[in-house]
Chains A and B, each alone.
Chain A
Amino acid sequence: MEIIENLALGFSVALSPYTLMLAIVGCFLGTIIGALPGLGPSNGVAILIPLTFTLGLDATSALVLMTAVYYGAMYGGRISSILLNIPGDEPALMTTLDGYPMAKSGRAGDALVISGVASFVGAFLSTIGLMLLAPMLARVAYLFGPAEYFALYLLAFCTLGGMASNNQAKAAIASCIGLGIAMIGVDNNSGMPRLTGGNLHLMDGIDFLVAIVGLFAIAEVFFFIESHGKGSAIGVKLGKVRIPWPDILATKWTMLRASGVGFIAGILPGAGASLGSFLAYMSEKSIAGENAGFGTGVAKGIAAPEAGNNAAAGGALVPMLTLGVPGSGTTAVLLALLMTLNITPGPTLFTDRPEVVWGLIASLLIANIVLLLMNVPMVKIFVRVLQVPAWVLLPGVTMISFVGIYSLSGSYFDLLLMVAFGVLGYVLRKLDIPTVPVILGILLGGNMEDALRRAMVLSDGDVTFLFSTPIAIVLWLAAIAGFVAPMFLRSVLKKPQRITD
């Protein structure tokens, strides 16, 4: 019953009119930030942190505002994925696979509502999970050493081949391009700069947001220019939004399973929401079998990644609050916020500052309900932002991309890099090479390499160390199965690629 008492304390903090207002404002800002291509949650939270200082908010209020923005951005990310085929943030990548085809076939409204409900289910369940399991789940992080992390990342790349393209060789090339780009910058294990050509701007490596915005948004603009503004990707019309009950009921188990998968992926430090939505999509795809038509615009293909990434958002808060280890880029920004507010996350946070933790949890529950209300009946308001004609929208997207990326580092160099990625994205799509593995390579490549190098240091270069624990062995077997299986299933696998017509 301790939980009820704690929750009562939390709600007494969160339900004050001022905090409630902050939560609503945060949800609204977050959804818009998430919906705009390129301005992902970590960007959004980072941009808004100075605001909390200007407003002179106390610790709890600042946290409530920022986590509402965080959850809001996770909801909003799906809007541009579905309508524009440009993921609003990196976890929304998987939502484009089925969301955009469904929108193309005239069911944009259904896609938005299904994804909104799935987001709610994922986020709601993971908040409950956070509440019940946080102190226990913190221990999971102790079970993952370098070998286990390496196997986990390997699993992600191995299953990528069958997912991203019909041609595994092309997917593998794309992964390698991504992994190669991830190697740029200071080598963590020797402190030496690699592949930087002596350029100081490249010392920190390439920010995946620069790559994501370049490969998706800027490449989209190039295609638009090529087609002289005719038949551009933004041909999706949104009619009256109704609630597609049959689809929602049909996906209930998908949502529940995806929430579980996403939550666990979120808890693992460094994995985060991208891996959550990815694993949720892949596991649902294999459960549904080849005839389910994943990649052609099915409801389950939308529900799974959205439930997964929102559940991972909640899951990522577990290691952040209990261990001070951020589970994703955004929680890393939130961690910085906590530190500036003089709150040291760690095993004692739940006992030392219950009002902060439980106030946060209660406001997450409130934010979720607010977001469901905002995102289902009021989704048209957000869509209107994106529904302006292409010749207005695309320059706008370009501008926001430039401003968003510039705000990251304040460096013109990243802008040049972003345009270069745009060109790369254009060329790759012309060659029918998927761009999703490139992004995942950049996103996870550095972590994967670090895990391997650490494992080698600890074991004196003994390769068998990589499969020396039960967890690692299971992950390896899953990875091998994930890579081999699609080769035999080639004839039945549909091609779930980005639609570029």
Chain B
Amino acid sequence: MTKRFFKALITGAAITVGATGVASAAECIAPANPGGGWDFTCRQIGKIMFDIGAVDKPVQVTNMAGAGGGLAYTHVVNERNTDDDLIIAASSATSTRLAQNAYAGMTADQVRFVGAIGADPGVIVVGKDSPFQSLNDLIDAIKADPGSVAFAGGSAVGGFDHIKPLMILQRADFTDIAKVKYIGVDGGADAITQTIGGFTQAMTGDMSEIVGFLKAGEVRVLAVLTDERVPGFDDIPTAKEQGFDVVAVNWRGMYIPRGVSDETFNSWAEKLQMVADSAEWKEAMAANGLAPFTKVGSDFQSYVDGLVAEIAQMSKDLGVIQ
């Protein structure tokens, strides 16, 4: 009985393997455990691609956690470099880590960044009782005395949350960025707690992290780091309209292996565009606090290249890389 069961099982497995060999389904690697942002990117985009008919088989999601995405990156570069049916979830954290050489010698040009179709806007936030009423107040205070303002953020020192206020300061011709105080705590909510508690003067993070505190009236958002004001938060000014041309968003997108043809690259870019245009994706974005941010194909590749270059330079100035 048991023997026969196992035989059936093995036969079944063999048939399945054979079948996938003939018409292979696309695979999406989420370089993190289930539940996080990268996992969400893979599962949502993969599902919508199938639902709207951009791919003819359901996209398989593989979780490959480790080294902040470095394990998956190394795996793709070394072992899957010509795989046409592979997409990998990425975000601004991917580009930050690449810029800072946090993937053990891997570089951004070893894969192709195919597109981003949503973003969590960066924000600069203070407690409701803070003396700072606008981004200019805050920047002036830092210029007068760099040690007087400490930022709290959810990423480690040199991470994207740390970089955001520094990008603004650079636009304000403040170059001594290593003097700016920043503490990295465990996530945006913790960073807000420290700011409301008065241990730090400002918080740098993503829009989705602060929505609850904003509604409760505990915090004031000095600036959102997008091109346009974010729908639904129309009374929050952008940094741009306050005179600091900084767009820093936590984008959600995909990269694919370096070794694929341009046709493959373009076809994935098209598929991402189709997802971006779909009603399903708009719904998923609204439910998850993402703002529209669509850049696909070579447009996106050059955006990432620019980002990586800027963060690499800034990290050198900060001393987090040599």
> Is A105 interfacial (CB-CB < 8 Å)?
no
Seen from chain A, the residues whose Cβ lies within 8 Å of a Cβ on chain B are: 46, 49-50, 141-146, 186-193, 198, 200-201, 203-204, 269-270, 323-325, 333, 336-337, 339-340, 342, 344-349, 352, 409-411, 450, 453-454, 457-458, 460
Q: Which of B157, B192, B193 has the most CB of A within 10 A?
A: B193
| Complex Cα–Cα for A352 and B214 (A) | 13
Residue in B40, B104, B192, B196 whose CB lies within 8 Å of A340: B40
At the interface with chain A, which of B178-186, B271-279, B298-306? B178-186
Tell me, in angstroms, the Cα distance from A349 to B216 when the chains sit together. Answer: 10
Residues of A contacting B181 with CB < 8 Å?
457-458
CB distance from B181 to the nearest CB of A (A): 6
Question: Which residues of A are found within 8 Å of B157, using beta-carbon distances?
Answer: 188-191
Interface set, chain B 182-235, CB cutoff 8 A to A? 182-187, 189-190, 192-194, 196-200, 208-209, 211-213, 215-216, 218
For A325, the chain B residues whose CB sits under 8 A away are 186-187, 189-190, 193
The answer on a CB contact under 8 Å between A336 and B100 is no
Given A146-B183, A346-B211, A454-B183, residue A201 in contact with residue B66 (CB < 8 A): yes
Contact A191 B102 (CB under 8 A): yes
> What's the Cα separation between A193 and B321 when bound, in Å?
11
Contact A409 B216 (CB under 8 A): no
Known: A203-B67, A324-B189, A409-B65. Contact between A188 and B211, CB under 8 A? no
Per the bound structure, the CA–CA distance linking A333 and B35 in Å amounts to 8
Bound Cα distance A143, B65 (Å): 35
In the complex the two chains form, is B287's CB within 8 Å of A191's CB? no
Question: Chain A residues near B70 (CB, 8 Å)?
Answer: 200, 203
- Rounded to whole angstroms, the CA-CA distance of A187 and B147 in the bound complex is 23
The answer to whether A269 and B67 touch (CB under 8 A), given A49-B35, A146-B199, is no
* Residues of B close to A204: CB separation below 8 A: 66-68
The answer to whether A345 touches B212 (Cβ under 8 A) is: yes
Contact: B288 with A342, CB < 8 Å? Answer: yes
**B183 & A457 in contact (Cβ 8 Å cutoff):** yes
Residue B136 CB within 8 A of the other chain: no
Residues of B at the A interface (CB closer than 8 Å) are 33-36, 40, 63-68, 70-71, 74, 100, 102, 104, 147, 150, 156-159, 181-187, 189-190, 192-194, 196-200, 208-209, 211-213, 215-216, 218, 287-289, 320
Are the CB atoms of B150 and A145 closer together than 8 Å?
A: no
Q: Are A200 and B104 in contact (CB under 8 A)?
A: yes
8 Å CB contact of A347 from B74, B147, B198, B218 = B218
Contact of B158 with A190 in the complex, beta carbons under 8 Å: yes
CA distance A323 to B189 in the complex (A): 7
A-B contact pairs, 12 of them (CB 8 A): A46-B33, A198-B104, A200-B71, A269-B193, A345-B189, A347-B212, A347-B213, A347-B215, A409-B33, A409-B66, A458-B183, A458-B199
Q: Is the CB of B34 within 8 A of A410?
A: no
What residues of B have a CB within 8 angstroms of the CB of A198 in the complex? 104
Inter-chain contact A460/B183, CB cutoff 8 Å: no
CA distance A458 to B195 in the complex (A): 12
In the bound complex, CA of A346 to CA of B188 (Å): 11
A336 to B92, CA, bound (A): 20
Complex: A457 Cα to B146 Cα, angstroms: 13
Contacting residues, chain B, for A193 (C-beta < 8 A): 102
Total of A-B residue pairs, C-beta within 8 Å: 132
Nearest-Cβ distance from residue B193 to partner chain A, whole angstroms: 5
* CA of A145 to CA of B152, assembled, Å: 11
Assembly CA distance A404 to B172 (angstroms): 52
Task: Report Cα–Cα, A232/B209, bound state, in Å.
Answer: 51
**Contacts of A144 on B, CB cut-off 8 Å?**
197
Output the least CB separation between B16 and chain A (Å): 19
Minimum C-beta distance from B246 to chain A (A): 21
Chain A residues positioned under 8 Å from B187 (CB to CB): 324-325
Cβ contacts under 8 Å, A457 to chain B: 150, 181-183
Known: A349-B212, A454-B185. 4 other contacts (CB 8 A): A188-B157, A200-B66, A347-B212, A348-B216
| CB nearest to B190 among chain A residues | A325
Judging by beta carbons under 8 Å apart, are A201 and B67 in contact?
A: yes
Knowing A344-B208, A346-B211, A409-B65, say if A191 contacts B193 (CB, 8 Å): no
Contacting residues, chain A, for B35 (C-beta < 8 A):
49, 333, 336-337, 339-340
Determine whether the beta carbon of B66 is less than 8 Å from that of A411: yes
> Nearest residue in A to B210 (C-beta to C-beta)?
A346
Residues of A within 8 A of B192 (CB): 323
Q: Which residues of B contact A348 (CB under 8 A)?
A: 212, 215-216
Residues of B within 8 A of A188 (CB): 156-157, 184
Most interface-central of A346, A349, A453 (chain B CB within 10 A): A346
8 Å CB contact of B65 from A145, A192, A269, A410: A410
Compute how far the CA of A325 lies from the CA of B194 in the bound complex, rounded to whole angstroms. 11
Write the nearest CB–CB distance from A135 to chain B, whole angstroms: 11
- A460–B208 alpha-carbon span in the complex (Å): 31
**A189 contacts B156, C-beta separation under 8 Å:** yes
Which A residue sits closest to B74, measured CB to CB? A200
Minimum CB–CB distance for A367 against chain B, Å: 23
Check A410–B216 contact: CB distance below 8 A: no
- A191 is contacted by which of B40, B159, B185, B199 (Cβ under 8 Å)? B159
A165 to B200, CA, bound (A): 40
**Chain A positions within 8 Å of B40 at CB level:** 340
**CB-based contact A410/B64 at 8 Å:** yes
Residue of B nearest to A138 (CB): B193
CA distance A142 to B65 in the complex (A): 33
Check A191–B320 contact: CB distance below 8 A. yes
| A-side contacts of B67, CB under 8 Å | 200-201, 203-204
Contacts of B104 in A (CB 8 A): 198, 200
Q: Which residues of A contact B102 (CB under 8 A)?
A: 186, 191, 193, 203
Among B35, B104, B196, max chain A CB count under 10 A is at: B35
Take A145-B197, A188-B157, A201-B66 as given contacts and tell me if A342 and B287 are in contact as well, using a CB distance cutoff of 8 Å: yes
Nearest CB on B from A306, distance (A): 28
Bound together, the chains give a CA A192 to CA B199 distance in angstroms of: 25
Contact of B193 among A142, A201, A344, A460 (CB under 8 A): A142
Minimum CB–CB distance for B42 against chain A, Å: 13
Contacts of B216 in A (CB 8 A): 346-348
> What is the bound-complex CA distance between A241 and B106, given in angstroms?
61
Q: Which residues of B contact A352 (CB under 8 A)?
A: 215
Contact of B184 among A141, A189, A323, A460 (CB under 8 A): A189
CB distance from A324 to the nearest CB of B (A): 4
If A324-B212, A347-B218 touch, whether A142 touches B197 (CB-CB below 8 Å) is: yes
A49 to B39, CA, bound (A): 13
Contact present for A191 and B183 (CB under 8 Å):
no
Check if A269 sits within 8 Å of B190, measured CB to CB: yes
